[in-house]
Amino acid sequence: MIISETKKFDPWEAKQEIEELKLKVHCSRYWMLSEWECENMSFPFWRLYHSQTGGSFVSYKGTEFELTAEKLVLIPPSTSFSSHIKKAGIVHDESILGHRLKTLEEVEILKNYGLCDQLFIHFNIGLPYDKIKPGIYEIPLNESWQAIILQIKSDRLEKSNNIDIKSSILLNSLILYALQAISNVFLDFPVIDQRIIKVIAFIDKNIAENLTNSQLSSVSNLATNSFARLFKSSMGCTVQEFIQVRRIEKAIMILHHSNNEIEEIALECGFYDRHHFSKVFKKMTGLPPAKYRVKIELKK
């Protein structure tokens, strides 16, 4: 008897549906902070924090969350939060000051001078799950996960700008552990029509192009008017409004995680020129892209 290739691949007859997770890590850094006084920070990517020393805080809607050795602090995209370090003296202006570490032994030394260590990771997991309800989540850590974090910190000091496959596996495993801890939050996420998901993937892949409703409706296999109604009912905005938001979100990502020129970013994100890009960017963020870059550079 010869077994079919299909049966060798999967002996079950029922088709299996597997939710796709598009995990992308943008950066991971480890340093010591002497000042971390920021208001209303909000980004289109997730942020994962850990601190061995304690003493630094993020706050959301009047509630403070301390970064400590025993937990991770996970912040979803578009969560507007503030941060500070608990120490003598009052900082009236926004400020981030830090010290680049060379060895783990420096952490205890610098702690005595009022500095706090901070490991942070920026990442996305793809739509629709990057659009979950804003908030701040604390995730407890056992000794095994604390040991993994220690290895990640050691890797960042040894290879601050190059993350090899071994380090990448550790980073991804830590992110997945944090996401698994809040998985019930995702279960409450409204179901989005798969045709809309397909269109969103097309938009993200072709964000630099001129995307029309007619073109996108053909991707969804719907008439243009039917597609426009379905998209707005699913996403709460028109498809062109959504495209504009995605373009600015991508621009913010590039500004945070690259040194690309503003003109290059404008074209990469689907804007006609720098002037048009700056106008839309300022309308949505409050700052033109050049000033936004200066602000985030000061905070690095």
Q: 124 pairs with which residues across the strands?
A: 24
pLDDT at 88 over 50: no
Tens of pLDDT, residues 257-275: 888 999 999 999 999 889 9
Output the pTM of the full model.
Answer: 0.81
pLDDT at 22 over 50: yes
pLDDT (mean) for 213-222: 93
Domains of the chain: 24-187 (2.60.120.280), 194-298 (1.10.10.60)
Using DSSP's 3-state secondary structure scheme, residue 69 falls into coil
Name the DSSP letter for residue 25: E
Question: What is the C-alpha separation between 244 and 250, in angstroms, rounded?
Answer: 10
Written as six digits, the tokens of 222 are 């719907």
Percent of the chain with pLDDT over 70: 94
Q: What would you report as the CA-atom Rg of the chain, rounded to the nearest whole angstrom? A: 22
Tens of pLDDT, residues 61-71: 999 999 999 99
pLDDT at 299 over 50: no
